[in-house]
């Protein structure tokens, strides 16, 4: 009499991990077989049916079913082998940590695990283990915002945040900046499309078809973007953009947040602004352009459009940039909201 199948209940996350393991072209076959055993078990197949499909022994099928039942995905990994562990002296461990935290010699900037292992005289796997235990990552670099040297930093910062939080009546707050030297890159071979287990692929070789600069203004309290492409970033083009904003926001006083780029303080720009009392400029503190909210939108633009793009000409790139601006305004434009709820950072 055939045995009734035992239904294994697995979560959606576990199923996704198991399916990924089963489809992997890089995992060793034994891990693929183990994932398949659990997937078939979750679908209600009997042990005999699983044996027939996987060509594994009854003992192996039972083993991995029990291991998964006890430990989940981790239960499908190989158990540690018996035997004497390699001895690492405290001095060697300290030397690994010291190397990882110091600048290497010989013209190198960063340490690799293999070079640390060679210097200390132990295996790379042991170096990896020591670094993991101490949570040291010499191969990684993170950037942070240093303290601005601007003596008026606090006053300028409070002014700009005040415009975001409590704008003046009958006025529009605009964050303005330029993204320059956007390259219209074409690839030497056709793009290979996305398919299971393979991402979209581009050739590493490319040809340049010119560059485009984009100037944009983010309306802080609506999220809408006013933008213009240009061949280069100069005072003349910046002045033309200000005139465009003047026409777009008739009858409104405009508070413009900009960084300290020289074109924003050009004498021709200042001369024109003297006749336009509706404009008031607010300059971000030195090294603090992150206070300008349009930088957030430029980050979205980079991920949505520029990264991985292919263009036959700078005109094609400029056209796509403006198409994206139009789509963004129609479908996604909304004010950016504060999300940080923790304590203020102390510098």
Give the residue from 303, 144, 299 showing the smallest Cα distance to 218: 299
Chain mean pLDDT for the chain = 89
Look at phi and psi of residue 278 and say left if phi exceeds 0, alpha if psi is from -120 to 50, else beta. Answer: alpha
Per-residue pLDDT band for 6 (boundaries 50, 70, 90) equals low
Here the tokens at position 128 are 């990896």
**Is the separation of the CB atoms in 111 and 105 below 8 Å?**
no
Tokens of 146: 């240093």
Return the closest-CA partner of residue 254 out of 213, 221, 207, 291: 221
For 253-265, the pLDDT digits (tens) are: 999 999 999 999 9
Which residues 6+ apart lie within 8 Å of 99 measured at CB? 111, 116, 119, 120
**In the structure encoding, which two tokens stand for residue 174, read together?**
């605009």
Per-residue pLDDT tens for 62-84?
Answer: 999 888 888 888 888 887 776 66
* Whole-number pLDDT of residue 5: 55
Q: Is 59 helix (H, G, I), strand (E, B) or coil?
A: helix
For the question of whether the overall pTM of this predicted structure is more than 0.75, the answer is no
pLDDT over 80 (residue 144):
no
For residues 188 and 158, which has the higher predicted lDDT (pLDDT)? 158
Give me the percent of the chain exceeding a pLDDT of 90. Answer: 53
Model confidence over 82-101: pLDDT tens digits? 666 667 888 899 999 999 99
What are the DSSP calls for 265-334, one per residue? Answer: G-HHHHHHHHT-TTEEEEEPPTT-GGGSTHHHHHHHHIIIIITT---SSHHHHHHHHHHHHHHHHHHT--
Q: So what's the pLDDT on residue 84?
A: 65
Q: Do residues 151 and 285 make contact, with C-beta atoms less than 8 angstroms apart?
A: no
In the chain, how long is the greatest CA-to-CA distance? Answer: 96
- Given a cut of 60, whether residue 1 has pLDDT beyond it is no
**Whole-number Å distance between alpha carbons of 278 and 174:** 13
Could you read off the pLDDT of 209-237 as tens digits, one per residue? 999 999 999 999 999 999 999 999 999 99
Q: Can you state the angle between helices 58-71 and 29-42, rounded to 10 degrees? A: 80
Strand, coil or helix: 86: coil
Residue 319 confidence (pLDDT): 96
What contacts 17, CB < 8 A, 6 or more positions away?
73
Please report the pLDDT score of residue 311 as a whole number: 93
Question: pLDDT tens-digit profile of 183-201?
Answer: 999 888 887 888 888 887 8
Q: How far apart are CA 214 and CA 133, in angstroms?
A: 46
Q: Note the residue count of the chain.
A: 347
Residue 170 pLDDT exceeds 90: no
Residues pairing with 225 in the sheet:
218
pLDDT of residue 282: 96
Asked if residues 127 and 98 have their Cβ atoms less than 8 Å apart, the reply is no
- Residue 75: what pLDDT? 86
Segment 294-314 shows an average pLDDT of 94
Query: How distant, in Å, are the alpha carbons of 215, 217, 230, 303, 314 from that of 180?
Result: 8, 14, 9, 16, 13
Tokens of 120: 């200390």
Q: What would the two tokens of residue 26 be? A: 């890089």
Please check whether residue 99 is in contact with residue 111, taking contact to mean a CB–CB distance below 8 angstroms. yes
Q: Report whether pLDDT(177) > 90.
A: yes
Beta bridge partners of 172: 254
Own/partner contacts of 155-158, CB < 8 Å, gap of 24 or more, are 156/282, 156/283, 156/284, 156/285, 156/288, 157/285, 157/288, 157/291
pLDDT at 76: 87
* pLDDT of the residue at 246: 95
């Amino acid at each position: 009499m055939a045995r009734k199948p035992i239904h294994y209940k697995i979560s959606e996350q576990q199923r996704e991990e198991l399916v990924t393991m089963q489809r992997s072209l890089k995992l060793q076959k034994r891990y693929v077989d183990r994932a398949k055993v659990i997937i078939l078990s979750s679908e209600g197949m009997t042990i005999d049916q699983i044996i027939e499909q996987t060509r594994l022994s009854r003992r192996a099928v039972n083993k991995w079913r029990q291991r998964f039942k006890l430990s989940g995905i981790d239960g499908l990994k190989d158990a540690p082998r018996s035997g004497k562990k390699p001895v690492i002296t405290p001095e060697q461990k300290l030397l690994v940590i010291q190397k990882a935290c110091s600048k290497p010699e010989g013209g190198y900037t960063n340490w690799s695990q293999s070079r640390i292992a060679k210097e200390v005289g132990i295996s790379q796997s042991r170096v990896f283990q020591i670094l993991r235990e101490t949570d040291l990552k010499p191969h990684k670099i993170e950037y942070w915002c240093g303290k601005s040297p601007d003596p008026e930093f606090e006053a300028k910062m409070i002014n700009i945040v005040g415009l975001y939080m409590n704008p003046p009546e009958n006025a529009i707050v605009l964050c303005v900046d330029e993204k320059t030297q956007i390259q219209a890159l074409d690839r030497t071979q056709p793009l290979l499309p996305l398919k299971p287990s393979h991402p979209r692929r581009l050739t590493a070789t490319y040809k340049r078809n010119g560059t485009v600069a984009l100037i944009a203004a983010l309306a802080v309290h609506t999220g809408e973007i006013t933008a213009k492409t240009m061949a280069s970033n100069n005072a003349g083009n910046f002045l033309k953009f200000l005139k465009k904003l003047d026409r777009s926001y008739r009858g409104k006083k405009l508070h413009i947040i900009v960084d300290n780029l020289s074109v924003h303080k050009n004498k021709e720009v200042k001369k024109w602004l003297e006749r336009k009392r509706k404009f008031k400029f607010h300059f971000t503190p030195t090294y603090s352009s992150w206070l300008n909210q349009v930088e957030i939108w430029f980050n979205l633009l980079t991920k949505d459009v520029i990264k991985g793009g292919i263009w036959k000409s700078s005109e094609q790139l400029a056209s796509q940039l403006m198409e994206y601006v139009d789509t963004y305004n129609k479908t996604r434009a909304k004010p950016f909201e504060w999300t940080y709820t923790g304590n203020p950072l102390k510098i």
